[in-house]
Amino acid sequence: IEDRRRRDDGPSSFRPTTGPLKSAGPLEPGKEYDFKIIKISPETRRIGLSYRAAVKQIERKEIEQYRSTSKSSSTATIGDALKSKLSAR
């Protein structure tokens, strides 16, 4: 899918065709989507955009947030559980 848009004298945007977006499905006109800027070319006044890179960046942030919250919560190992059971006898 190639999408070129020009607003007044501003730069045009270009999303390269790399195949269908499997996880998101087709993009619907009129809806807003997040794209990551992957290339800026002032000479040709074009901006390269990537939807997949934006999705991956959001996923990485969510994973990092999950990891940071799981590190802060207390965890026990199987050894700790066995030790407490044996000491209770």
Residue 39 identity: K
- In this prediction, residue 72 carries a pLDDT of 60
Divide the 89 residues of the chain into consecutive groups of 10 and give the mean pLDDT of each group.
Answer: 52 56 71 91 92 90 84 70 82
Helix residue spans in the chain (DSSP H): 51-72, 78-88
- In this prediction, residue 79 carries a pLDDT of 82
- In this prediction, residue 78 carries a pLDDT of 84
C-alpha closest to that of 17 among 33, 37, 2, 29: 2
Q: What is the DSSP string of 38-61?
A: EEEETTTTEEEEEHHHHHHHHHHH
- In this prediction, residue 1 carries a pLDDT of 45
Domain ranges within the chain, ordered by starting residue = 1-17+28-73
Eight-state DSSP code of residue 79: H
